[in-house]
Amino acid sequence: MATAGKVIKCKAAVAWEADSPLVIEEIEVAPPQKNEIRLKVIAASICLSDVYHMYKGKPKDGFPVVMGHEGAGIVESVGPGVTEFKPGDKVIPLYLSQCRDCKFCKNPKTNMCEKDCIIRTTIQSPSEIRFTCRSKPLLQFMRTGIFSEYTIKNKIALVKVHDDAQLDRVFLFGCGVSTGYGAAINNAKVEPGSVCAVFGLGAVGLSAVMGCKHAGASRIIAVDINEERFEKAKILGATDFVNPKLHQKPISEVLIEMTNGGVDYSVECVGQVDVMRSALESCIKGWGVSVIAGWTDLYDFSARPIQLIAGRTWKGTSFGGFKGKDDVPKLVLDHMAGRINLDVFVTHNMNLDQINEAIKMMMAGGW
């Protein structure tokens, strides 16, 4: 391409500081360096983690930053040492890398990678900076910065997908859908005929409902204080619907009564520690499994030891337990074959200039 090897000027949504709206700026995107790929962004979405970083987490070393981490694009150019990708390839950035060389990547028990950014969400050394604006360096949120017309990714944090993939749908596998779907099938390991509960019906929660359905659950209880979300949950397989605000007793007691002892599996998709505890306490003793899929790092969580002593399991998930480079292409093929419904997740189509409006809409929906 004509832009290969040159600095590209383009629009991006920059968070200059915490608690402030994003600013649409013209930024400079450097050419890809060794083991890097520069891509033209085709589709992206706002994830709760983006809003969390701006308005709740607010790390002091996390600004200024180009936000966004869930998206898809087309390779514009590649740097030295890159043989896996070529210009024109359709790709999905991964916030959870897969180097395939570390002890975690080589272990089938986990999808962690020593080089991932779960802890290092924005921290980049000066030598890693590829974005600038008015001569100031800009970070890339989760080392992605997808709210830009072009971005840079390391080859271990990018995956090629099928040439016929619909990028304005499969970009959802970059975070939310993979996280919720995998929480059910990989982490909870939902079994046929089981009873499940999903707490929170945003993109992650709806994906967890879909995962429970695909795993063969006989009953899926959707829990949310926003009843407008129940219709989509029903489309994806939910059988029962509970609004905690309509009950005087704790939601865990409500679910225990509904299920004669508790659910076999629960998935927490809200990112609030009190909901995490409720999800655990909703599980049946002896074998109940509760998975934390919601993101937060502000508060400690707690539960009475008897909850675990009695045989329940409490675990977490990142990216639904999927190894990105191995599994995302398979998820894309499942979508193309009609096995994973992504249309239901797309509620609005907006351009980059409307991003603050989109964030307000997300926050108004309850977060």
DSSP 8-state code for residue 54: I
Instruction: Please confirm, yes or no, whether 247 is among the known catalytic residues.
Output: no
Q: Are 175 and 69 in contact (CB under 8 A)?
A: yes
CB neighbour burial string for 159-176, b if at least 16 within 10 angstroms, e if fewer = bbbeeebbbebbbbbbbb
Active site residue 135: no
Please confirm, yes or no, whether 335 is among the known catalytic residues. no
Set 175, 196, 269, 283: catalytic member: 175
User: DSSP states of 129-193 as a string?
Assistant: --EEETTEEEEEGGGT--SBSEEEEEGGGEEE--TT--HHHHGGGGTHHHHHHHIIIIII---TT
Catalytic residue among 45, 47, 105, 117: 47
Active-site residue among 69, 105, 266, 269? 69
CA distance 121 to 133: 20
The packing angle between helices 273-281 and 251-259, to 10°, is 20
Instruction: Round the CA-based radius of gyration of the chain to a whole number and report it.
Output: 20
Do 171 and 151 form a contact (C-beta atoms < 8 A)? no
| φ, ψ at 138 (rounded to 5°) | -120, 135
- State the amino acid at position 240 in one-letter form: D
Q: Is 69 tagged catalytic?
A: yes
Closest CA to 256 of 282, 218, 292: 282
Distance of CA 212 to the CA centre of its chain: 18
Sheet containing strand 90-93, edge to edge, reads 150-154, 36-45, 70-78, 90-93, 158-160
From the list 49, 148, 178, 278, the catalytic residue is: 49
Phi, psi of 287 (to 5 degrees): -150, 0
* Residue 238 and residue 222 in contact, taking contact as beta carbons nearer than 8 Å: yes
Could you count the other beta carbons within 10 Å of the beta carbon of residue 211?
A: 30
Active-site residue flag, 49: yes
Which residues are the active-site residues?
47, 49, 53, 69, 175
